Every structure is written in structure tokens, then in C-alpha cells.
Structure 1
Amino acid sequence: MPREHKRDNNVPTTEGASDQQVQKFLNKVAATPAVRRPGEVGRLIFAMDATASREPTWDQASHIQAEMFQETAALGGLHIQLAYYRGFGEFDASEWYADSQKLLRRMTGVRCLAGRTQLAKVLKHARKEAKQHKVNALVFVGDCMEEDVDALGQLAGELGLLGVPCFMFHEGHEALARRAFEQIAQLSGGACCRFDANSPQQLRDLLSAVAVFAAGGRKALGDYSKARGGVVKQLTYQMK
């Protein structure tokens, strides 16, 4: 039957990732190599679970992505592609956007529908895109996983070979999803971090950090860390 909501209501949700978890994630981003040719614009696939339980965070992310563009403008810009799954086997990927308003209009036109996870489709799509042109990073935001972990691991490893690190953002406390997201991140050369939907600033900072990395590499991320402060400031030590 279609999944409507899998969060454990008995688990407090007012806390986001611990400082140690956030630092570990950001350190991993800082240590991830970014390869770009001179004059090349960074490319980031922004993928989301758009099943029913994800609706509140989808609305948040719709506005956060505009700031991702702003943070990378001075680095030569960033092209972002939106990908999502929802409902009964529905998966969609947009064109590549260099304009935040066009992407925002696309995102706000999507409504979440109950259904099972389709993370394999996200990874296969990223693999296909990376074989056609350079993709600097894949960001995924989700709360559940209902698929074969070994199959997902195989796809994540292939993305790692293609130079596409997966940065997995896990909302909530579901243990199976957490383990799967960590393995996907590890096998692809990316990182995994839990966040709380009640702490949009934390998600904003983490997403912006990955966007800056995709657009300008580790040096740009180090500069961004110094200017931004907060949890992102911890990256400055990794830049030295």
C-alpha cells in the first residue's frame, strides 16, 4: 500500500543533527575533491522524495534553493536540475536551470503524493546525466527508504567512479533510511547528515555549502565558511 507517513511520533523531532554530526558532514564536503575545467559552470542535481510525508520540507526547500543560486553567483554560477519521485512510480527530472526564479516556479508547481520510495531511479538518472556531461554533485533530501540496499549501493559506487559525490540529507529518525543513506554517501564519495524540518536554517546552511562546493570547489567552500559562520565555519580548519 502507498506510504503516507513513516516518522516515529514517539521520537522528539525538535533537535536537528548534533554539532558533531554536522561537523563530520561538513568536513566530508570539504575533503571531497571537485574537478572543474576553466570556465566550466558547476552542475548540481537537486533530488527530493516528493511522497506525502515530505510536503512540509518540500515547501522549505523551494525557497532555500533560491539562496543556493545567490551564494554561487560570484563563483561563475551554478546550473541546478530538479529531480523527484512521488505517487505510483512517477519520476521526473527538469531541464538544467541557471535562473533561480524559473526553478522556483517549477518546484512550487509540484505537489507531493503518497507512494513508495524510488531512490534507484534518482541514482540511475544521475548516472545517465554524468555520462553525458560533468555533474559536480547530487543532493538528495528524504526521510524513508523502501528499496534493495545492495542495488542502491551498486549504483552509488558507479556514481563514485564517475566523480559524482552524493550528499544525502536525512529527515527524521528512520534507522533503515539512515543506514542506506550513509552507505550511498560513502560509496559515492559524498557525505550524509540528518536534519530537522523544524530547523530550516540548518538545512539552508548545509545545502548552500554543497552548492558552493559544486560551483567552486574546496577553496570556494573555505571562503564561504569564513564569511557564513555558524556550523559552516567549522570547514575553515579543513581548508588550511
Structure 2
Amino acid sequence: MSRDPTRSPVDPSLRAGERAARTPVASSSDEIAAFVAKARAMSPDAAGARGRLVFALDATMSRQPTWDMACALQADMFREAEAIGSLDIRLVYYRGFNECRASGWISSSTELARLMGKIDCRGGHTQIGRVLSDARKEAVSAGVRAVVFVGDAMEEAADELCARAGELGMLKVPVFLFQEGVDPVAEQTFREMARLSGGAWCRFDPGAAAQLRELLRAAAAYAAGGRAALQRLAAAGGGAALLLGQMR
């Protein structure tokens, strides 16, 4: 079988645990009501359930410095979660030409670091809509407590992204959007996506590891222990307080 020359090769060990995230057709009101009911029935707030966090990253060329930084910081998410409960993370990233991939659910910081270490950044446009569609699907089928997105740009239709963020809000899945740098167009859309999903938007300076670390720790605390865990962490200020101050 010939390989599509437009697709970049992916390490086989990563491909085995991931699949391309696809954009579904628009949902009818009945379909939306159905997946809201199913997602609530599978809520990770149930006793004994593991928290689940979708960790989405822009892996286009401009993201290389932050990708490397995120690789170094991702273990902090697990450490924060371990102090509260338990956490599974699903890594989703996009890059290159029409490439958007997702891992399976990962419960080990070592495994997450191994997968991230095999990915290099490549030029391409943003695919945030596909990330949100994958998160919605997982929220219905497996239960998701939160979505984290780290990126610096938005090159898609704002109304479509906001609609998908709103669907996640109906599922009680807040989206935390962490924007690197200053892009007014991206900021306007990211802020509205955060509002519609019941999440939060925060900006961090390029290469600011300490700022990103605080934000990722706060999101992990919420995913592992819910709002109460975020409130406890917010008592010390920092990233947790910024997220909590925006969440409805």
C-alpha cells in the first residue's frame, strides 16, 4: 500500500495508541440532549472515578519552544493530581498539513513524556475545531472533566469554535485556554470559548516556564479533584486563582 506523501511519518509506538481526530457533522438538538445525558451519567465526579483531562497542544512550527517546555513541565500535572486523587491524560496535538492526532488515555507521566518526546513541530494551520470535536466525543464515551489547550494562534472560523466550546459547556467540561504571547484575534476568540464552556483563558509570556507550570498544575488539580481542589490550590494565589476567578 502506498503512503500518502502529504502525511508526515509518525513513530509506530505512538501511532498504535492514537488515531486521527475527525470533525463530526453538526448535531441536532436531540443528539445534543442525548450526549449531555450520557456524559452526566458517566461523570468523573462519581465515587472512585479517575479524573480525565484532555491535554491539547498546537504543534505547528511556531510552537517548538513551548512544546519543549511543555514536555519538561507535564510531569507537574501528574504530581499535582497525585496529591489530590488520580488523573488520566489524553494527549491531542495538531501540526503540518491536516494532521491532528490523539493518544489513548495515559496514567503515567513517564509514558506521556515518552510520547511527547517523539513528536516534532511542523508548519501548518491551526486545527482547534478538531481538538474540541475529539474532546466532545470523549466526554460522551469515556467521561472528561476538563480540556487544556496551549497555543498562540487561531486561524479558523470563530463562530464554529465557540459553538463547539458551548457544547462542551453543556457537558460540564470547561476548556482552559492558555495563550502564549499577544495575538488580539486569538485572544478574543479564546476568551469567548472559555466563557461558553465555563472555563478560563490565561495568557503567559513566551518561554515563561513558571507561568505555564502554575496554569497546568491548576488545571490538573481541577481535573483530579473538581472545583473544591482548585479552590484549595487557589488559596495560595497564582494560576489557580486566575482560573477560579473566571469559572462560572
> How high is the TM-score relative to the length of structure 2?
0.77
| 8 A Cα contact 2:199 2:243, kept in partner | no
Amino acid at match of 2:56: A
Q: Which residue of 1 aligns with 2:121?
A: 112
Return the alpha-carbon distance in structure 1 between the equivalents of residues 141 and 244 of structure 2: 34
Q: Which residue of 1 aligns with 2:197?
A: 188
Specify whether residues 142 and 67 from structure 1 end up closer, same or farther in structure 2 by C-alpha distance, changes over 3 A only: same
Return the alpha-carbon distance in structure 2 between the equivalents of residues 156 and 71 of structure 1: 26
| Bigger mean CA deviation after superposition, 54-63 or 72-81 | 72-81
Query: Is the aligned partner of 1:219 residue 2:228?
Result: yes
Amino acid at match of 2:136: R
Specify whether residues 235 and 107 from structure 1 end up closer, same or farther in structure 2 by C-alpha distance, changes over 3 A only: closer
1:105-152 deviation per Cα after TM superposition (whole angstroms, max 9, x unaligned): 000110000001101100110111111021000000011111111111
Alignment of 1:6-155 (within 5 A): 36-155=45-164
Return the alpha-carbon distance in structure 2 between the equivalents of residues 135 and 209 of structure 1: 16
SS in 2 for 1:75: coil
| 8 A Cα contact 1:35 1:217, kept in partner | no
SS in 1 for 2:83: helix
Return the alpha-carbon distance in structure 2 between the equivalents of residues 82 and 110 of structure 1: 11
| 8 A Cα contact 2:221 2:229, kept in partner | yes
Query: Is the aligned partner of 1:161 residue 2:170?
Result: yes
Q: RMSD of aligned C-alpha atoms?
A: 2.0
Query: Is the aligned partner of 1:206 residue 2:206?
Result: no
Specify whether residues 61 and 235 from structure 1 end up closer, same or farther in structure 2 by C-alpha distance, changes over 3 A only: closer
Return the alpha-carbon distance in structure 2 between the equivalents of residues 204 and 172 of structure 1: 16
Return the alpha-carbon distance in structure 1 between the equivalents of residues 243 and 117 of structure 2: 32
Specify whether residues 233 and 169 from structure 1 end up closer, same or farther in structure 2 by C-alpha distance, changes over 3 A only: closer
Residue 197 of structure 1 and its aligned partner are, at CA, apart by 2.4
**How many pairs does the alignment contain?**
204
Q: Relative contact order (C-alpha < 8 Å, sep 6+): which is higher?
A: 1
Specify whether residues 149 and 212 from structure 1 end up closer, same or farther in structure 2 by C-alpha distance, changes over 3 A only: same
| 8 A Cα contact 2:95 2:125, kept in partner | yes
> How high is the TM-score relative to the length of structure 1?
0.80
Residue 229 of structure 1 and its aligned partner are, at CA, apart by 5.3
Structure 1: which 5+ runs fail to align?
1-33
- The percent of aligned pairs where both chains have the same amino acid is 51
SS in 2 for 1:217: helix
Residue 220 of structure 1 and its aligned partner are, at CA, apart by 1.7
Specify whether residues 236 and 113 from structure 1 end up closer, same or farther in structure 2 by C-alpha distance, changes over 3 A only: closer
| 8 A Cα contact 1:222 1:235, kept in partner | no
